[in-house]
Structure 1
């Protein structure tokens, strides 16, 4: 079997919009289940096939519905009752593509419309041959609706068809059952209902479904047998289909939960509200039918793409498809109107990382929303404000002051939810302790950094007054209490941490952590000093709440003495105190491996800790985020030194190296890193995405295109646009929002043009020339080589 994924399926208006799985391999179910995931930010439905297979993962998640199965486990997004399974029997033989003969197969996701379509020409073991077509969408027009359709056409003769379809509450999260048995009912022999409640968090989920039938394009009345079993209800039907006739079953489903924003202030009769709203939604949807509902969904996607599409003219069309793939997933993983939920490391596409939010959001994903949908960026940062309670609690529990953000976050009052144990130690055979929740602490500075970047890009003063300043000040207070005085060297240090490079544990003075902590404290110090003059009422309010003068005293005490590693005689900045003294080994076999993490096959964490090997961009990330602190020569030396020692075993890594390589003039390397970033999920490695897509990689792809090749960067208080296209691209065009004004940037190999489509004049730098662009006007420059 050759390559399974086909990137050229789309033609005409759908060119570079469709990803096709052109062959079926039951050993590689997880890949397309993840990358073909459908959603709308409210919910995500993993693209498991309608019929069941060993090894499949059937997942439906609703943002924010976290639950803890057992006190010994951490909270996770629970897998809601499944509505995708459809059991089909053909003359008594169960339809499965791994039995009989598969004459033709195609499954494709249309990024432009959000529809998943599978077409199958199947011959059963007893010789019956038929065509089947499966359609599915998750609506972005009505975020509670899921539409699906099954079409069956007998080819070899008349056939007896039996179908069972319903709501399956027997699903688990890898064995953990999160819901009580619940209530089950079928109304009017048409509308199915299952009401379930999570066992610990008390979240109700209401699932409704309905079925409608056609034969040869005409509505058909089909006798249904209702079935109610433990955590399960369905309808069964049997009929005889004539040769070449076409039978269609439409299944419309809807989902509501007590965590929906609508019910936030409702405490009484929540179950009745969920039932009534669910029944009203499903009845209306049933009357409209699949085609009308899908048209609403398609129109909503069309509106999104008109505003947010990025157009790339490239030698390889894959580049255009890849950026659209990233934009699609960035928008189906994010609940854009709810500040109680963040973005999971796998979005809503799989059980990996339990739906928890990491620093991925602020550093890799938020820039996309900040520069294109700033209201959504604000919502995501408000989520971090609502996490402050847990951050302060974690700081106190660890003997610190201020706000120490959880490494993994879930619901707004869950606090730290990082699991304690992970994979097996190849040497000892024991479960490996997960230390990130204890000592990977840079996330507090990452969030403060993101808050300030958002403010510079938006000038959203109301956000800063109500949320942003407090986040920056509270996290800075944490760092002022976290540093330790080294009497011998007469300096403050940050010891016993994990930096972004998680192959190095219990290190002292991780450069990334120290510099970002210093940046965090510097911001807070300036804010506290300037606020009495700019907004004395706000200063008074925050001072009463936080005791700002005490915090400033603590920051003043340590900030100038904090150790910030500098380049040595060879120009290399030590990633941490002992990194440059560690053993250097040949990493070629691990760099060339088809899967990540192969170094664990030969070494355990303790051994890796003693080698000059990095999991991902660490110091290189520092050079990117705080790039105005380092000259070009320092960046070059450190980029080359650390890239040689980096395995890129994290999906966060290659996009950062792409951007810095492009900045430094390594155009071929930059393009290779871009393509590799795209391949993490979209590439032909059929095991790369089993547990879900990589959310940060989606943001990373966008950053490669816009921040890297498009040259978009915030420097100080200004926006710079300094494009450097790869030679493989003739031109690109992308949207950008700066301080409330939408713009479109068009870059060719010869020039760059910025169009201001907003209401106000914008002042930006194109390369090093400050340019004012009036509303409705354009400005440009020649490309600098």
Structure 2
């Protein structure tokens, strides 16, 4: 675990430069605005270890799968978000010596991610090998006010240098992905130009044919007076401008780069150049400071809806704001074609594709902190991929409209090449179905079931029906050869979580059918015709399977079993695992991991979190105590679920421990993998840990319910919730919860099972909030 980020309520601060931590910081200090983003690479030359990353949402490449041997059903490619044009490059040549922090003596260094206003700032003083010292201040941001714009201000002071400085401003599209399977570069050049409005480079992806134009207007001032840049080097996928200037000691050079990135996803390819010139010209006319002010205003609106304030614990405050900040940078909900990659705009790992993380972890955050359409668009994304899900199932031998959603996708087609994930982690179907239920439960939007949801649920139910088989030995239905969320056990039989979610999906598909029938019989008739649903025959089969499903358990211990045979494994507890052996995914062979009883994330607890109303507190406590002792939390998705369940069990110490682990997972590099990029989707779990965990928020019968407690380390915490058109402000202190109704209608809210009617503009206070 690293501990070099300074605690601050609104900022992420790094003091001093350590090259060994640089790639971690490149991830932590990343920027984005939902449309595009960038790792925190240096603007000037850096010859040390670095993962360069610039990304445009929705633009991907089908990199050919690399496997040792081919089997029927393997996807032919792994879709990857592409490292795209690097627009911010600056080269400073001081009489033959480049400014490069890898070769310079760094006298002072400070990097700050200012989250309240949404920008990254860096200050340093460095002496280059020739002996001259420079002072630098840089500031950059990706606009939340106009997601087609980014901007940079780089100020350099020649402290004691006198002589000729050669400056080169670079737009470099000759880039590659670190994770390219065959070291292939994925871009071809379409064209480039330099006009009075800026420098423009247009690239096209191979195979997929996405076109992206990057336009950059570079402005240079010496001691406040403008200098003229001249065309410099042009080569394939690269264009630059340069100037040579005579500097005296103390001179100050200000460099501004105003940038636009536009793609053929949003504009016809023939229109890209004209549109880029228009957008860039308008942004340049506005100027850096006005664009920065608009950025602050846009972030103020985001924080007004989604901030969480913690009193008395700066480290926890910093962590939750960092998580909220990165979630908002990654996904804004404007485009239903987009989704949330596990690394967002912060790295290449996982290909930037869509996983089950979105439905299982991210939906609750966006439901409560953004307009209803934002979460709805995440579900519409899956609806639009339903035909592909049916095709995916057909490739594996399923028929009759059975739908298997991909574990990894960009366009609805499965593109993951590890058999234990591609073929066996079928639990993703359950998460998608549960997200539909969760959305409808929260919003009351039954129309979603009519227009989109039921069709998806029918396809998923048909898949489960065909995936099970009857066991003569057990005289029950079983599910063989699966992998649950705990990926430290592969090709197992009767994973409790997968079997349980299959049962729930079958029942919910039938329940949703009845809801649509009651709401709109004509629409149900349309859906029956479109899907070919035979209610009598199919519902009878679904009912039989749900009633007869085998769910492994150990009655002596009073626990549900991860899967058949779990207790055959050596039952060593995590507390007895030497620290030198962790994380086991980096210390042990895969064979050893699969044979051990250690759990990456506890499948049983994931299921009890989703379906908590089906289990009493005693059952939850038995299972929690058993599985927590065996869970190594080497999935970023694990600690938040444990935090929420510990809070429900009134175990304040463990709830807080797991909160800190999920909240500071990347800031403190708990799993020794932050350099690959941030764990964006698990960040939503941090929000859940506070709102569903410490505040105990649930939705029951169309109403909000709270059962809060205050961690001992905190004096108070406060947040806002948007619920069915009304915003509520909630503050929790020792022994007290206060809820203010900021909406325009009377609302009923339950606190510790007592119902309060809160008129608009009024506050209710309950004095039972526990301090644990």
Using the size of structure 1 for normalisation, the TM-score is 0.92
Secondary structure in 2 matching 1:700? helix
Partner residue in 2 for 1:239 = 245
What per-residue deviation string (whole Å, max 9, x for no partner) do you get for residues 43-68 of structure 1? 11111111233431111111111212
Q: Helix, strand or coil: the match of 2:78?
A: coil
Query: d(CA) in 2 for partners of 1:608 and 1:685?
Result: 19
Q: Which residue of 2 aligns with 1:578?
A: 565
Q: How far off is 1:665 after superposition?
A: 1.8
Shift of 1:666: 1.5
Q: Distance in 1 between matches of 2:590 and 2:367?
A: 39
The Cα of 1:716 is off from its aligned counterpart by 5.9
Deviation for aligned residue 1:560: 1.1
The secondary structure found in structure 2 opposite 1:746 is: strand
Partner-residue secondary structure (3-state), 1:67:
strand
Determine if contact 1:69/1:177 at 8 Å carries over to the other structure: no
Distance 1:79 1:572 in 2: 46
Q: For residues 399-410 of structure 1, what are the structure 2 equivalents within 5 Å?
A: 399-401=397-399, 402-410=401-409
Match of 1:416 in 2: 414
Determine which of 638, 643, 647 is the counterpart of 2:628: 643
Could you say if the C-alpha distance between residues 593 and 451 of structure 1 is closer, same or farther in structure 2, counting changes exceeding 3 Å?
farther
Hey, what does 2:352 align to over in structure 1? 355
Residue 83 of structure 2 is aligned to residue 79 of structure 1: yes
- Match of 1:682, SS state, is coil
Contact 1:655 1:704 in 2 (8 A): yes
CA contact (8 A) 1:205 1:257 kept: yes
Alpha carbons of structure 1 residues 142 and 396: separation in structure 2 relative to 1, 3 Å = same
**Is residue 2:200 matched to residue 1:180?**
no
Q: Distance in 1 between matches of 2:727 and 2:342?
A: 29
Deviation string, structure 1 residues 139-159 (Cα, Å, up to 9, x no partner): 111101110111111112424
Secondary structure, in 3 states, of the residue corresponding to 2:177?
coil
Once the 2 structures are TM-superposed, how far is the Cα of residue 760 of structure 1 from its aligned partner?
2.6
Could you tell me which residue of structure 1 aligns to residue 278 of structure 2? 280
Between 503-512 and 549-558, report the one with greater CA deviation. Answer: 549-558
Match of 1:162 among 166, 179, 183: 166
1:379 CA displacement: 0.7
Q: Judge conservation of contact 1:735–1:742 (CA < 8 Å) in 2.
A: yes
Q: 1:559 aligns with which of 530, 546, 549?
A: 546
Alignment of 1:567-646 (within 5 A): 568-585=555-572, 587-588=574-575, 592=579, 596=583, 598-599=584-585, 601-605=587-591, 607-646=592-631
Q: Tell me by how many angstroms 1:707 deviates.
A: 0.7
**Within 5 Å, which residues of 2 pair with 1:642-661?**
642-661=627-646
Aligned to 1:204: 211
Among 515, 537, 544, the alignment partner of 2:529 is: 544
Is the Cα–Cα contact under 8 Å of residues 488 and 599 in structure 2 kept in the other structure?
yes
Out of 367, 372, 376, the position equivalent to 1:370 is: 367
Q: Deviations over 1:370-391 (max 9, x none)?
A: 1222221101111111121121
**C-alpha contact 1:67 1:198 (8 A) present in aligned 2:** yes
CA distance in 2, matches of 1:472, 1:224: 60
Q: How many aligned positions are there?
A: 751
In structure 2, the partner of 1:141 is 145
Q: Is the 8 A contact 1:406 1:417 kept in 2?
A: no
Alignment partner of 1:182: what SS? strand
**Which ranges of structure 2 fall in alignment gaps of 5 or more residues?**
66-75
Paired residue for 1:309?
307
Q: 1:178 to 1:152 in 2, by over 3 A?
A: same
Instruction: Determine if the alignment matches structure 1 residue 328 to structure 2 residue 328.
Output: no
**Which of 390, 398, 403 in structure 1 is aligned with 2:388?**
390
1:505, 1:687 → 2: CA distance? 24
Cα offset, 1:405, TM superposition: 3.5
Work out whether 1:342 is the aligned partner of 2:339: yes
TM-score (norm 2): 0.94
Measured in 2, the distance between the counterparts of 1:486 and 1:720 equals: 42
- Give the Cα–Cα distance (whole angstroms) in 1 for the partners of residues 216 and 225 of structure 2: 18
SS in 1 for 2:79: coil
Inter-partner Cα distance in structure 2 for 1:575 and 1:684: 28
Deviations 1:72-128 (Å, cap 9, x if unpaired)? Answer: 541211111111221112222111112232111111110111111111111122221
CA–CA distance in structure 2, aligned partners of residues 455 and 529 of structure 1: 14
Deviation at 1:609, TM superposition (A): 2.4
Could you tell me which residue of structure 2 aligns to residue 30 of structure 1?
A: 23
Distance 1:686 1:508 in 2: 29
The 3 A distance-change label for structure 1 pair 220 and 522 is: same
Q: 1:706 to 1:303 in 2, by over 3 A?
A: same
> Hey, what's the Cα distance between the residues in 1 that align with 2:765 and 2:316?
25
Aligned to 1:426: none
Partner of 1:427: none
Give the drift of 1:611: 2.2
Matched, 1:5 2:5: yes
Query: Which residue in the other structure is 1:230 paired with?
Result: 236
CA–CA distance in 1 between the matches of 2:581 and 2:144?
Answer: 36
Preserved CA contact (<8 Å) 1:85 1:165: yes
1:691 lines up with 2:676 in the alignment: yes
Decide whether the 8 Å contact of 2:710 with 2:769 is kept in 1.
no
After superposition, the Cα gap between the structure-2 partners of 1:142 and 1:717, relative to the gap in structure 1 and judged at 3 Å, is closer
Q: Does 1:66 align with 2:60?
A: yes
